[in-house]
Structure 1
Amino acid sequence: MRKNLYSLFVLCSILSYSQSLRDIYQEGMNAYEEKNYELFKQKMFTIDTMRPNYPAVVYNLAGGYALTGNKVKSIETLNKYILMDATQDFSKDNDFAAIIESPDFEQIVEKQKLLTSIIEPTDLTKIPILSSHPESITYSQKQKAFFIGGVRDGNIWKVEQDADPIIWAESPKNSWSVMGLDISPDNKHLWVGTSSMSNYASYIQNEEGFASVLKYDLKSGELLETFVLPGGHNFGDLIADTKGNIFISDGTANKLYWIENTENQLKEFADLSNQVFNLQGLTLNENETALFLSDYIDGIYKLDLASKALAKLDIVGEGILIKGIDGLYFKDNSLLCLHNGTTPNRVVKYLLSEDGNSILSKETLAQSGSLGEPTQGIWIGDRFYFIMNSPWAAYSQDGIFSTEGDSLFIGIIE
């Protein structure tokens, strides 16, 4: 098994908040070295139950099943794994020797080819602002302009058609990496979610975990309000409803916050920390009775806004694993999802059941090729515009930021 690929160091960096999980993983690796494959399998199964969908663990679990003679479960787990990472050559791993000659294994190889094939977006445009580390995007119908937020500099860029991009707003006090943008339904205000992260060029360690929401006058560019939460927060996305309420996802506290249209304060709307692992994108259903939220680790959830009841979407269709979703967007009873936690990254449309509680099928709209790391997007009529190559991989282990080229790619899907 390719333990050099999924080392204990890498896994522990992901699971640093949980000593017990690291201990279990180490116990499993010790068992593997001692050729106690039954115990190795049990330890990987335990972790996958506690914290699902870590590729390292799922890969090891598939190998553990093969090593202990459970060929059916090994194939089943490999089928799950390739939806996370379709690039591995299992035929070179001796741990899968028991299943390599089976027809089911050949089917996995064929599925890998489909999952790594190139699917380009309908079109793309280039904007020379990659050094800002763009992450978020929205669009003003009135001004006919995109607004794009930077992680590295905390600036907000304005991009009009056939014009050079300009810095519309520089990062003010109590503002950090721009993680989410949306425009109010009356087109009067730009709402901005920011988080203090080490990727921010002006990062100060004692501000780690701070987050804020900014309210700008869209016409004048004046900063009208700043709402700040200190310590233990990461605002990943925000959205305005047609009533003027603002909802904000917090991927560290795993809470949903809001700024109600009748009140001028940031408040907790729902504490979801007992049910989700890492909140990211959010989108409203058509009649705005529910929010869909992406949990980067475990899938998509639906929150009833009246009762605040939260439920994970059921998966009915075949070959679907909802993992690694950043931005997600509702349209025509489907969710368009930007996966940047899979290999390769992809843009996928998931058809929902009529009640919006289940996923029935999927259609991959972009994959590999010019697609880098997709993060967030915006529907403009029947066209979807999205950030294709947010440069999260441009940071070295020492925190040095260096991009290849200066062009942000905006993908277009029709």
Structure 2
Amino acid sequence: MKKIIILALLSLNASAQFLASAPPTEIEIKVNNANNISEVLKLAAIARGKKDYKGFEQAMEKAVRLKPHVPILSYQLAQAYALNDSKTKAFDTLIGIQKQGIYFDLAIDPSFDNIKSYPVFNYIKENIDVNGEHHGSGVQSFNISKSFSGLLFESLAFDANSQSFLMGSIRDGRIIKIAAKDGEISTLIEPTKGGLEGPWSSIDMAIDEKNDILWVASSAISQFGKISKESSGLSAIFKYKLSNGQLLQSFKIPGKKGPSLFSAIHLTNKGELFIVDPLNKAVLKIGKGDKQISLAFSTPKYNSLRSITADETGEILYLSDSEQGIIVISLKTQKFITIENSGSLSLLGITDLIYDDNGLIFIQNGFKPERIMRIELKADKATVKNVFAIESAHPLFNSPSYGVVIGQGLYYIANSQIPKTNRMGGLLSGQQWQDMYVLSSAKHYQEQSSLDYKKQIKSYKNSSGVN
């Protein structure tokens, strides 16, 4: 009898707890059912607008689960936690942002007003502010006058034979030479004709000085001034004589009917040209002596491919994916390894990727601080050994993009003009063209002092018993 009474009481208690819990709100139900990031962010905005901070928090938690490596989403989640008075979660989220080297101006954000009085907030803010300070040795190498920057010179290469930089135009496809000695500008390849045969926009370049060859990746994108309905989505590789710009050969994808985009190319030391086609989640190839483009491999897992480079043997490729990180591919084994985003390393928004000195240099934009980083790899060439900042928060940075290593220096475009343009390449209302700056930075900037500092921190932790 006692057993029956106890069971009845437990049942009543469970029922009471169930009845006492509030039913889910409309926002909670919609967030739970949403799996599209745009839909979730729309729900988050609605909840915040209604000052439903619990709903805002739940929506942003879902957004971060869907896109865990996007700094602005983590920041908005910290805002939601603070507004909903989830203090510990807000602090933990902000610490995670700080550890990745990301910067936001917390001082001017009223979302954190109810936690700003806590000493831990000031400590976190001071460390995040350090992330926003300039770090590096970048100096101006040369610039393109704002009178011509509207041609959108967005690719960069260096010709050691003529000691000249090359820059390719998105707008009209021309390629110019800039003498390293005195900055004199000349035209190597005249504006392209477009049409069905191309060339179109000059997207990326690869140089073979030994054989006097310039490879150019070209696509008919919307910013190309001579784009047409018939040519839109066409892509090809064009092979020129490096010394005089004579067109030698063109390579189209055999039998290709759908649109393509060649976002990057890389010429290995074995003489093989690899081409990134993000629209088709594929990497293409022109082997040494090949007469046409072939498929190297496809990557259905990776949706945001951008840049490509290779080690000195030409046997290992590195691809950047703006969400997943850096993909390492062994051409011998066809094995894929991903260097992933981590709590201390954000690989979001990589615009260019360069293998150098058993490491990877990458340029990042799309968040603050815009920066250039270097990963030192272990002997396996696929595992991170150390991470160094080459340049961060330079005053001239505004969407830094392509770069090239020359000796001990890294030369790169500091302020792309693409963000100032509309979909068709025209200047957005309220924007103005600016001089385009190419900067140079020491590629191993303060690496030894960084290692020494890490050793000091490790020694302190060991001696004090801190984990």
Query: Which range, TM-score by smaller chain?
Result: 0.7 to 0.9
Kindly tell me: are residues 92 and 67 of structure 1, through their superposed partners in 2, closer, same or farther at Cα, counting changes over 3 Å?
A: closer
The equivalent residue for 1:8 is none
Q: Name the CA distance, whole Å, in 2 between partners of 1:71 and 1:158.
A: 56
Which residue, 160, 168, 173 being the options, matches 1:154?
173
| 1:346-357 → structure 2 map (5 Å cutoff) | 346-357=371-382
Residue 377 of structure 1 and its aligned partner are, at CA, apart by: 1.4
Structure 2 counterpart of 1:296: 322
| Contact 1:330/1:336 (<8 A) preserved | yes
Residue deviations 1:231-272 (CA, integer Å, cap 9, x gap) = 432212111011211011123322211111142111221211
Gap regions ≥5 residues in structure 2 = 1-33, 444-467
Residue 282 of structure 1 aligns to a residue whose secondary structure is strand
Deviates more, 1:288-297 or 1:30-39: 30-39
Question: Conserved in 1, the CA contact under 8 Å of 2:204 and 2:264?
Answer: yes
Matched, 1:384 2:410: yes
Q: How does 1:5-404 map to 2 (within 5 A)?
A: 20-68=36-84, 70-81=86-97, 83=100, 86-89=103-106, 92-94=109-111, 96-97=112-113, 99-128=115-144, 129-160=148-179, 161-162=181-182, 164-170=184-190, 171-173=192-194, 174-184=198-208, 186-229=210-253, 231-274=258-301, 276-314=302-340, 319-366=344-391, 367-396=393-422, 399-401=425-427, 403-404=432-433
Number of residues of Structure 1 aligned to a counterpart in Structure 2: 394
2:135 partner SS:
coil
* CA distance in 2: counterparts of 1:107 and 1:187, whole angstroms: 57
Q: Which amino acid aligns with 1:87?
A: F
Contact kept? 1:135, 1:179, Cα under 8 Å? yes
Q: Distance in 1 between matches of 2:202 and 2:113?
A: 48
2:416 aligned partner, one-letter code: S
**1:375-414 CA distance string (max 9 Å, x none):** 1111122222212222112215785336534444343435
CA contact (8 A) 1:208 1:231 kept: no
Q: Say which is worse superposed, 350-359 or 322-331, in terms of deviation.
A: 350-359
Contact 1:257 1:267 in 2 (8 A): yes
Q: Which residue identity does 1:109 align to in structure 2?
A: K
Amino acid at match of 1:212: A
Residue 258 of structure 1 aligns to which amino acid in structure 2?
A: K
The TM-score, its normalising length taken from structure 2, stands at 0.76
1:283-333 per-position Cα deviation (integer Å, ceiling 9, x unaligned): 1123332111111233222122223222221567x6321111111112222
Q: Decide which structure has greater helix share.
A: 2
CA distance in 2, matches of 1:102, 1:238: 50
Question: What residue identity is the alignment partner of 1:92?
Answer: D
Coordinate RMSD, CA, aligned: 2.8
Residue identity opposite 1:242 in structure 2? N
Could you tell me how far 1:155 is from its partner in structure 2?
0.9
Stretch moving more, 265-274 or 388-397: 388-397
Secondary structure of the 2:313 match is coil
Runs of 4+ in 1 over 6 A off after TM superposition: none
> 369-378 or 202-211, which moves further after superposition?
202-211
SS in structure 2 of the partner of residue 26 of structure 1: helix
- Give the 3 Å change call, closer, same or farther, for CA 73–157 of structure 1 in structure 2: same
Quickly say closer, same or farther: Cα 1:185–1:108, change in 2 above 3 A. farther
Q: CA deviation at 1:370?
A: 2.3
Mapped partners of 1:193, 1:292: distance in 2: 18
Q: Contact 1:337/1:347 (CA < 8 Å) preserved in 2? A: yes
CA distance in 1, matches of 2:122, 2:385: 26
Q: Which moved more, 1:83-92 or 1:205-214?
A: 83-92
Partner Cα separation in structure 1 for residue 252 and residue 356 of structure 2? 32
Code of the residue aligned with 1:331 in structure 2: it is D
Cα distance in 1 for partners of 2:339, 2:143 equals 36
Letter of the aligned partner of 2:163 in structure 1? K
User: Cα–Cα, structure 1 residues 38 and 307, in superposed 2: closer, same or farther, change >3 Å?
Assistant: farther
For 1:46 and 1:140, the matched residues in 2 are separated by: 49
- The runs of 5 or more residues in structure 1 that have no matched partner are 1-17
Conserved? CA contact 2:218–2:235, under 8 Å: yes
CA deviation map 1:96-117 (0-9, x unaligned): 3454334442233122222221
Q: List per-residue Cα deviations over 1:326-369 (Å, max 9, x = no partner).
A: 11112222211111222231112222233233334332222221
Quote the Cα distance in structure 2 between the aligned partners of 1:107 and 1:249.
Answer: 43
Q: 3-state DSSP class of the match of 2:92?
A: helix
* CA-to-aligned-CA distance 1:170-208 (integer Å, 9 cap, x gap): 224422222211112634211111222222222224533
> C-alpha distance in 2, partners of 1:291/1:298?
16
User: Residue 74 of structure 2: SS of its match in structure 1?
Assistant: helix
Shift in alpha-carbon separation, 1:207–1:79, aligned structure 2, 3 A: farther
Residues 246 and 91 of structure 1, relative CA distance in 2, 3 Å threshold: same
1: CA distance, partners of 2:54 / 2:400: 39
Change (3 A) 1:54 1:126: same
Q: Secondary structure of the residue that 2:56 maps to in structure 1?
A: helix
User: In structure 2, what is the Cα distance between the partners aligned to 1:263 and 1:137?
Assistant: 25
Q: Secondary structure at the match of 1:135?
A: strand
Does the 8 Å CA contact 1:185/1:240 hold for their aligned counterparts? no
- State how far apart, in whole Å, the 1-side matches of 2:340 and 2:217 are: 30
